[in-house]
Amino acid sequence: MSQMTGSDVFTEAQSWESLPTVDISDWAAKSDEEKIAAALNVIDVVITKGFFYLSGHGIGQSKIEDVYAASKAFHNQPLEYKERYHVKRSMHHRGWVPFSEIGQFEKDNESHQVFYESFDLSYDLKPGDTRIQNGYGLVGPNIWPDLPNFRSCVKTYYDSVYDLGRDLLRIFELGLGMEEGQLLRYINAPTSQLRLLNYLENDAPADEFHHGIDAHSDFECFTILHATGPGLQVLSSEGHWVETPPVDDHFIVLIGDVLEAWSGGKLTATQHRVVNRGASRCSLPFFFGADFDCVVRPEKPFDTQRARDRYPDFVAGEHLWGRTIKVFPYLRNLIDSGDLKVDFEIADENPFKRISKEEEALLKQRSVT
C-alpha cells in the first residue's frame, strides 16, 4: 500500500464489458507447445487489460472459507486481546494492524481516512534460522494468536497460495521468453505477505478523502487476491478506473512493481484502489515477493540499455521496506527514536505510481484555475 499524494483526485469508475479470465485447470496436461501458447496468452491479457481473473487454480472453496472464518474469529475479539498481537510488538512487521494505526492521516493540510484493520503474516522462518534479520525488518518468524485452529488453517492457506504463486511465476517466465527458473531463483525466503483484511462498516462517503485503501500499485512481484464483496477498482491499460467485482472460485491477479522492472516495462504494475462502500468487507491479498536482498533489474531478454536506464537497479526488500515505512506511523516513530535505522534512501512517492486519464485532465484543469 502507499499513501496518496497531493496529485490524487477521485473519479468515478467504468465497468468491464467482459472480465479478463485465465484458466489453468489443465496446465499440467498441456504439451510444451500448448504451455507456451497459453503463457503467451497470459502475457497478452496482462498487456491489454492490466490484470486478470484466475480460475482452475486448485485451491478449494472450503480452504478459502476456513481462512475467512479464522480472520473473522480474530477480528471479532475484544480490543484488549488483539492488542497483544499489535504489529508494533513484532520485530518483523507481523500481527494486528488496527484501524487507528493508519485510519486517519493528514495530507496537504486535509484530513483523510481509510476504513480497515488487518492481521499480517509472511514467510515464516523458524527461530534460529540464519536468514532472520537482526533488529527490525521484514524477514523473520510470524506471531500467531492462540485461537483454536487459527494457525493451522491460515498456514495451510498461505502455503497453498504460495505454491500457486510459484506456478504463476513459471508461467510468467515462459510467456516472457525467459529460461525456466530465471525468476524463481530469487524466491527462497521471500517477503511474501498475506493480509487478513477487515473493512469496517461506516457511513462516510466514497470520495478522495475516504478510502477502503487508496490508489497504489503493490510493491512485490504480483498479488493473488480474494475478496467477499465489491469495492476493488483497477486502472485499465487504457488509463481508466474500472470496477473489478469478486467472482466465485476465482482469484484476481495484479502485477507488482518487481515484475514490471524484471520485464523491462513490458508488463506494468497494476494501479488499484478499494473504494469505500460503507459496508463490511473482507479480503485476502497475498503479495508474492522476491527475497529481501534480490537485486531487481530488467532480466533477459528485456535487459536493453533503454530498459536499464528506465529501471535502475534496486533491492526488492528495500523497495518494500521503504514503502511500508512510508505507510506505517509506528515504523516512522521507531526511526525518530533511533530504534530503527535505515541505510538506504526512501523516495517520497513510489516511482511505479500512475494516475488515470480522467485524473490527469482534472489536475490540468485545477492547475489552470
C-alpha cell at 31: 504439451
Q: Which of 216, 231, 3, 217 is nearest to 105 (CA)?
A: 3
The owner of cell 496482462 is 46
Cα–Cα distance for residue pair 40/79, rounded to 1 Å: 48
- pLDDT at position 97 over 60: yes
Contacts of 258 (CB under 8 A, 6+ apart): 219, 220, 221, 289, 290, 296, 316, 319
- pLDDT at position 136 over 80: yes
Q: Which residue has better confidence, 55 or 369?
A: 55
Give, as one character, the DSSP assignment of residue 185. G
Sheet with 104-107, edge to edge strand ranges = 14-15, 241-243, 232-235, 272-275, 210-216, 110-114, 104-107
What's the pLDDT score for residue 110? 53
Instruction: Write out 3-51 in H/E/C secondary structure.
Output: CCCCCCCCCCCEECCCCCEEECCCHHHCCHHHHHHHHHHHHHHHHHHCE
For 218-263, give the DSSP string: -SSSEEEEEESSS-EEEE-TTS-EEE----TT-EEEEE-HHHHHHT
Cα–Cα distance for residue pair 145/150, rounded to 1 Å: 7
- pLDDT at position 316 over 80: yes
Q: 97-101, 203-207, 215-219, 364-368: which has the highest mean pLDDT? A: 215-219
The domain spans of the chain are 14-368
Q: What is the mean pLDDT of residues 169-184?
A: 98
Q: How confident is the model at residue 339 (pLDDT cuts 50, 70, 90)?
A: very high
Q: Which of 346, 347, 364 is nearest to 355 (CA)?
A: 364
Contact 233, 241 (CB under 8 A): yes
Q: What is the mean pLDDT of residues 192-204?
A: 90
The listed CATH number (3.60.21.10, 3.90.1170.40, 2.60.120.330, 3.40.640.10) that belongs to domain 14-368? 2.60.120.330
What's the pLDDT score for residue 102? 72
C-alpha cell at 294: 534480490
What's the pLDDT score for residue 117? 93
- pLDDT at position 105 over 80: no
The owner of cell 504494475 is 269
- pLDDT at position 215 over 80: yes
Cα–Cα distance for residue pair 29/34, rounded to 1 Å: 9
Contact 356, 241 (CB under 8 A): yes
Distances from the Cα of 278 to the Cαs of 103, 196, 201, 210, in angstroms? 14, 19, 5, 10
Q: How confident is the model at residue 204 (pLDDT cuts 50, 70, 90)?
A: confident
What's the pLDDT score for residue 3? 36
- pLDDT at position 38 over 60: yes
Q: How confident is the model at residue 279 (pLDDT cuts 50, 70, 90)?
A: confident
What average pLDDT is seen over the chain? Answer: 90
